[in-house]
Chains A and B, each alone.
Chain A
Amino acid sequence: MTIDFNLGSDQRQVVESIQNVLIDKFPLSRFRGARGGSHDNDALAEIAALGWLGLGVAEEHGGAGLTLVEDVLMFRALGRHLVTPNVMAGSLGVHLALAAGNTVLASEIMTGRMRVCVANRLDGPQPDGAVVHALYDPEGADCCLHWDARQIASVPLSQLGLPQPARCIDKTISLLRVSGAPAGNVSLIGDAAQKLRRRADLLVAAQLLGLAEGALDLATDYAKLRHQFGQAIGSFQAIKHRCADMKARVKVLTSLVLMAALSEHEGRGDAALQVAAVRLLASRYAIENAASGIQIHGAMGFTAECDAHLFLLRAHLLENLGSTSTEREVEMASLPLETSDCTRSAHS
């Protein structure tokens, strides 16, 4: 077979071993009673020690020797457990350092000696016209990683202006706001930046897929347990069909995450189109699933006590990371036909 969408036994083992750690160390119950602020930063050293930041890094560079595809499978699992996006920042930081030829920095990030956090540009006019970035879970980080349509860069936190604490929509994440746009000390532009940006988009999409699955499972379990009018609410079509739509979104998104990752890994001509499509749909589907999950839980879903809302908050945190939904829609309407061809050569 030259095309195969089954996970191999080795891939399944990798995913299972990661899932076991997540179930043990990162249950959603860790957020109960959360008052805001970071929850996973203390575990980042352990995650680095497990080798997760170098999972998709070649062995010659000190990584596990696996590929983008396994990275995507791992981040799907991380997304489901709502693990801090800074694992992604670390993983991307390693690839940025390697692409920039800085193997020392790559090794320092991979082993956890240097910590990376996500930075995302906050759009919209600021009173003084300044560029404002938000740092996600920055405690203990040495540098931040940010990317947009043109470039990807890491900046030491020491070069940033005075950070202002901010209140994050996702209360499981702490947020600092910083002004100014300092030059990255490690940065990429051009094709190398585009390649890494597609990797970033795939990892974000994988996390959104994971949380869309988490929302589905939580809602489906509840629909089987909760009884009204003398029967499980999941027997009513109004609820059942909502769950079915959530399942369909998960199935479609899973297929596209896998195919886009495989296409990017294999260097297919239409990889850019697939990545743009998966990034656009992942945000939409994750938010729709999270919202449906809240509705299915009824009044419980509206409480802070119920986990259903955690998926919604994280989906919004990731939605506009690296690009806004409007930018993505324009990109998806603009990408030329040639790249949509699934063959290696251009379609005549």
Chain B
Amino acid sequence: MTQSCAALERWQLKLQLTDEDEAFRQAARAWLKANMPRTRCPPDGRDARRFATDWIRRLHDGGWSGISWPRQYGGRGLPPERQMIWYEEYALSGAPSPLDPSFVSLNHAGPTLMACGTEAQKAFHLPKILRGETLWCQGFSEPGSGSDLASLTMSGRIDGDRLVVNGRKIWTSYADIADYQELLLRTEPGSKRTEGLSWVICEMRARGISVRPIENLAGTSHFCEVTYDDVSIPLDNIVGEPGQGWRVAMTTLGFERGTAAVALQLALLRKIETIREAALASGTPMQSGLMQRIAIARSEAVALRALTYETFFREAESPFDASIVRLVFAELSQRIHRIAMDFFAARSIDFAMADPWVEDYLESFSETIAGGTAEIQRNIIGERLLGLPRQPRP
């Protein structure tokens, strides 16, 4: 190798896939084609659970779950390039949306346990998650604490080696069919705001838990209110240090806002492609308002893929970068679904005539609310990334 080639090797910016990467891509593509379900995940209830756990099991048996998770926990321990290739193939194949009852366990409970959990917690939970044996839900928001998450009041009283938990959580997706919950609560009496919280693994079948599904604006009932009446949880279920739950929760939200949705982000490319092809096939003029919006949204979907790569393959300037990813994804997702509604025009009032866009369009309203509203993400970007002053509090 000449000297100048050796010098170039040190340079980092690169986007090169090897023949082995390519073989991996072809294998992923072929496997998905042969094995993916041709139907969507049912919206809620036991059917949704069965669909999600069957599909995860199948992925696991085929060797396609936990691509970048450590081998000791049942993953394949492959480098991030392979993980990205898998996400790309998954998103472009038209396989069922990963935003199903397994989303929390695979994309933020699992990663949070890996980042903050004890060896025992990891060894017990991670393999079960990858095999689709357990599903998780998230318990952060409370009726009185939404955007102002640090105002949460739900508490756990320490009694020997147990926590006795009372209170309410809300907007918990799939609480009715999940096995475990990421539960954020106050474990130090009298503590305020971000102090004295703990992130706890809560078994959803424990005595004293009652779950009430809530019907959403799309007419489905996948999110719930959960009430806790003297629920007893082992102290060993605390993830991270007791009282340091806010830091663990921010780790979880970092995944939720950042890397959890990689496959969803890439899937927007396929969605806008589907609309574009339908618009072309129906003779929509090139120089029309609809085509202009499709062209812009398509550019933005290509840009979101680049942002996804950047998040995956670059040292983050700040953990709060994830808020940009979340904001950009959420708003683009809504724009793309709105374009679809405009394409279907009058037919868009009929679920079957514009299937599955009507349901997806209505569900897309959650994108700018879940995981921190778009307004909260903009506050975070303004204050944490740009250093703008906080709004004075009363």
Residues of B within 8 A of A254 (CB): 310
Are B375 and A333 in contact (CB-based, < 8 A)? no
Contact of B15 among A3, A9, A248, A348 (CB under 8 A): A3
A63 to chain B, nearest CB (A): 12
Are A8 and B22 in contact (CB-based, < 8 A)? no
Residues of A within 8 A of B282 (CB): none
Are B310 and A235 in contact (CB-based, < 8 A)? no
CA distance A2 to B321 in the complex (A): 23
Are B299 and A332 in contact (CB-based, < 8 A)? yes
Chain B binding surface SS class: helix
Contact of A258 among B4, B310, B375 (CB under 8 A): B310
A215-257 vs B, CB cutoff 8 Å, 1 = contact: the mask equals 0000010011000000110111101110111011001111110
B27 at interface by CB-CB < 8 Å: no
A344 at interface by CB-CB < 8 Å: yes
Are B391 and A247 in contact (CB-based, < 8 A)? no
B268 at interface by CB-CB < 8 Å: no
Residues of A within 8 A of B33 (CB): 348
- For window 335-394 of B, CB contacts with A under 8 Å fall at 375, 377-379, 381-383, 385-392
Interface residues on chain A, size class? 35 or more
Are B17 and A344 in contact (CB-based, < 8 A)? yes
A1 at interface by CB-CB < 8 Å: yes
Residues of A within 8 A of B273 (CB): 337, 340
B304 at interface by CB-CB < 8 Å: yes
Are A11 and B388 in contact (CB-based, < 8 A)? no
Contact of A262 among B10, B14, B302 (CB under 8 A): B14
Known: A231-B392, A340-B269. A69 touches B13 (CB 8 A): yes
B222 at interface by CB-CB < 8 Å: no
Residues of B within 8 A of A1 (CB): 12, 14, 79, 81, 313
Residues of A within 8 A of B379 (CB): 237, 240-241, 244
- For window 315-348 of A, CB contacts with B under 8 Å fall at 326, 328-334, 337, 340-345, 347-348
- For window 1-24 of A, CB contacts with B under 8 Å fall at 1-11
Chain A binding surface SS class: helix
B287 at interface by CB-CB < 8 Å: yes
Known: A273-B302, A332-B299, A333-B291. A258 touches B7 (CB 8 A): no
Contact of B299 among A3, A9, A231, A276 (CB under 8 A): A276
User: How many CB-defined contacts (below 8 Å) exist between A and B?
Assistant: 208
Are A262 and B328 in contact (CB-based, < 8 A)? no
CA distance A252 to B306 in the complex (A): 8
Known: A240-B383, A259-B310. A6 touches B295 (CB 8 A): no
Say which one of A39-47, A92-100, A149-157, A277-285 lies at the interface with B.
A277-285
Are A252 and B11 in contact (CB-based, < 8 A)? no
Known: A251-B324, A277-B303. A284 touches B389 (CB 8 A): no
Residues of B within 8 A of A252 (CB): 300, 303-304, 306-307, 324, 328
CB-based nearest B residue for A220: B386
Are A8 and B383 in contact (CB-based, < 8 A)? no
Known: A224-B389, A243-B388, A342-B305. A333 touches B13 (CB 8 A): no
Q: Of residues A8, A278, A348, which shows the largest number of chain B Cβ atoms within 10 Å of its Cβ?
A: A8
CB-based nearest B residue for A9: B10
Are A348 and B29 in contact (CB-based, < 8 A)? yes
Residues of A within 8 A of B286 (CB): 330, 333-334
Are B324 and A260 in contact (CB-based, < 8 A)? no
CA distance A235 to B389 in the complex (A): 5
Residues of A within 8 A of B390 (CB): 235
A334 to chain B, nearest CB (A): 7
B308-334 vs A, CB cutoff 8 Å, 1 = contact: the mask equals 011001110000010010011000000
Residues of A within 8 A of B295 (CB): 280, 328-333
Are B14 and A3 in contact (CB-based, < 8 A)? yes
Residues of B within 8 A of A4 (CB): 12-14, 313-314
Q: Of residues A326, A331, A334, A342, which shows the largest number of chain B Cβ atoms within 10 Å of its Cβ?
A: A342
Residues of A within 8 A of B280 (CB): 333
Contact of A274 among B306, B387, B392 (CB under 8 A): B306
CA distance A262 to B305 in the complex (A): 14
CB-based nearest A residue for B315: A6
Q: Of residues A2, A4, A284, which shows the largest number of chain B Cβ atoms within 10 Å of its Cβ?
A: A2
Are A329 and B292 in contact (CB-based, < 8 A)? yes
B272 to chain A, nearest CB (A): 10
Are B303 and A255 in contact (CB-based, < 8 A)? yes
A191 at interface by CB-CB < 8 Å: no
CA distance A247 to B384 in the complex (A): 12
Are A258 and B13 in contact (CB-based, < 8 A)? yes
Contact of B382 among A241, A255, A343 (CB under 8 A): A241
23 contacts between A and B (CB under 8 A): A1-B313, A2-B81, A3-B84, A4-B14, A69-B13, A235-B392, A240-B382, A241-B378, A244-B382, A248-B324, A252-B300, A252-B324, A258-B306, A259-B310, A276-B299, A329-B291, A329-B292, A330-B291, A332-B296, A333-B294, A342-B88, A343-B22, A343-B25
Which A residues contact B (CB, under 8 angstroms)?
A: 1-11, 59, 65, 69, 220, 223-224, 231-232, 234-237, 239-241, 243-245, 247-248, 251-256, 258-260, 262-263, 266, 268, 273-274, 276-278, 280-281, 284, 326, 328-334, 337, 340-345, 347-348
Closest 10 CB pairs of A and B: A240-B382, A8-B11, A234-B388, A5-B314, A244-B381, A259-B306, A8-B12, A277-B299, A332-B295, A244-B378
